[in-house]
Amino acid sequence: MESGRAARPALEGRRILLGITGSIAAYKAAVLCRLLKTAGAEVRVVMTPLAKQFITPLTMATLSKNPILVEFFDPENGAWNSHISLGEWADCLLIAPATANTLAKMRGGVADNLLLTTYLSARCPVVVAPAMDLDMYAHAATQENLRTLAGRGVEIVEPADGELASGLVGKGRMAEPEEIVAFLDALFSRTGKKKTLQGKRFVVTAGATIEAIDPVRYITNHSTGKMGYAIAGELARRGAEVELVSGRTALPTPAGVTRRDVLSADEMFEAAATAFDKADGAVMCAAVADYTPAEVSGTKLKKGEGDLCLPLRRTRDIAAHLGARKGSRMLVGFALETDHEEANAEAKLVKKNFDFVVLNSLRDAGAGFRGDTNKVTLIDRTNREELPLMSKNDVAVRIVDKIETLLAGR
């Protein structure tokens, strides 16, 4: 068991408030609790009244070495279980298993049991591990609830595909306790960093711009915004004030980030330039259109007999504009290349006056648009650091680490 402790250093001494709801998967909460304790975490358990039908408070009290909380007060002696102090105590509220019912109530702000009131007043990170039948999980209502919760910063440990209590096979099975513990460990490794950027303000541009041709059509690109959103989230986790100037994406706003939605390259220019005035730095992650239709037709363009030539005019280069005025501010750029990658990236570093440039080669498998992974090289005036293929969240951690190092060296 000692090896478990050594393997999860980020969990050592963490205070985990484990919420258990009424699902057959509640039996796994016993193993989960034990693994968390073994990793050196302190665990307190809040159960919903229905959860007691699936696993006994005695089991959980014995494993967590703490009394179990279910009701707002103890009917025997009237002792009050304060949801506010529970929320304050916890470094993380982990709800595992989280039923469809509890997720819906969390979304709606319903406060009809101790666990839900604790959730509503908790300021710590909240992690849910959904567990339910495959159809309940796939239902639009559940999916919408999860998306909304994720948009508010709730972390979700995806359920697995497999055999369910109903005998059906599909997605809805709660993630295994080992996976949930690994998820928490990764979360604390990321978020456990000190608030090293407290007091700093950053602008991040992300996503694709949209250049209207007429009221129906537009020019855009494949950017999903994932990389920029991950960077904005990481900067905020380290205490920075972040203004995210975002082109169109389907992503939820990262916790602690102020988001400003824009459409065109021109709108992004104005928003980023204004935000940069008050900032200590900017990370230019957006895929900005270099050209936009010279004129936007007010009415839908009708097709003619022959081909159509659409005159395009150059947009303004936001990064170059900020680079020319940056003074002592930090400016980080991206270079997405398909050939002569390093030479092109180095040229952008100088031309746009970046402190460093993040080179993405579309020739690398797993890099660039859409996916959750990226493979990048960080290039400044003296060094180049080629990173292996990693998740976009981990790439964001490395980019923000480099920002910190450069700020510290000033």
Q: Does 317 bind ligand CTP (CB under 6 A)?
A: yes
Footprint (CB under 6 A) of ligand CTP, residues 283-302: 284, 286, 288, 290
Question: Nearest CA to 37 among 67, 68, 8?
Answer: 8
Closest separation in Å from C-beta 269 to ligand CTP:
7
> d(Cα 68, Cα 60) in Å, to the nearest integer?
7
> d(Cα 308, Cα 359) in Å, to the nearest integer?
35
Q: 221, 344, 360, 374: which is the annotated catalytic residue?
A: 221
User: Taking a C-beta distance cutoff of 8 angstroms, is the pair 39, 212 a contact?
Assistant: no
Which among 87-95, 112-120, 254-262, 282-290 is the span making contact with ligand CTP, rule CB under 6 A? 282-290
- What phi and psi, each to the nearest 5 degrees, are found at residue 148? -65, -45
Q: Does 265 bind ligand CTP (CB under 6 A)?
A: yes
Which residues make Cβ contacts (< 8 Å) with residue 132, sequence separation at least 6? 23, 99, 100, 142, 159, 172
Identity (one letter) of the amino acid at 12? E
Whichever of 100 and 319 has its CB closer to ligand CTP, that residue is 319
Closest separation in Å from C-beta 250 to ligand CTP:
19
Active site residue 374: no
Closest separation in Å from C-beta 354 to ligand CTP:
8
Q: Does 203 bind ligand CTP (CB under 6 A)?
A: no
What single DSSP character describes residue 215?
S
Q: Does 367 bind ligand CTP (CB under 6 A)?
A: no
Q: Does 318 bind ligand CTP (CB under 6 A)?
A: yes
According to CB under 6 A, which one of 29, 36, 96, 336 is a site residue for ligand CTP?
336
Q: Does 266 bind ligand CTP (CB under 6 A)?
A: no
Question: Nearest CA to 330 among 404, 233, 387?
Answer: 404
Q: Does 172 bind ligand CTP (CB under 6 A)?
A: no
According to CB under 6 A, which one of 334, 355, 356, 376 is a site residue for ligand CTP?
334
Q: What residues make contact with ligand CTP under the rule CB under 6 A?
A: 205, 265, 284, 286, 288, 290, 315, 317-319, 333-336, 348, 352
Report the catalytic residues: 221
